[in-house]
Amino acid sequence: MNARWKKFGSYAAVGVINTLVHWQIFFVLFTAAQLSQAVINLAAFCVAASFSFYMNALFTFDRRTSLFRYLLFLSFMALLSFAAGHAADVWRLHGWVTVASFSLLSLFCGFFFSLFVVFKDIVNSADE
């Protein structure tokens, strides 16, 4: 199996914990704060993404990365998070639909963004 796909299992395991953190924060804010889903999804994402980025750097990619690459990852995924929440607000989707669809979307987009942008140099050197 390609070295890149071996990392997906670890990335997905961290993603399960990330998803639990994201969903808990989302539903606490959704219930208690009555904010828009776009804002709530963004806030929940930022907390969960910081956790998962750190865990993936330690366990999935076994490397540190620069602050710039972390901020690049966070910005890209935060934009995706806000867009998913905004679409849910516009289409008046239930919160479960918002977090479930965003979780699936972020699993794949986040993995490929990490693989080809954030940890690109690290993964490419491991393949050689």
pLDDT of 124:
53
CA distance 39 to 86: 8
CA distance 28 to 34: 10
What letter would DSSP give residue 63?
Answer: S
Q: What is the chain's pLDDT, residue by residue, as a tens digit (128 residues)?
A: 576 677 888 888 998 999 999 999 999 999 998 889 999 999 999 999 889 888 988 888 877 777 888 899 889 989 999 999 999 999 999 989 999 999 899 888 988 888 888 877 755 555 54
CA distance 75 to 62: 22
CA distance 37 to 99: 9
Does this model's pTM top 0.85? My answer is no
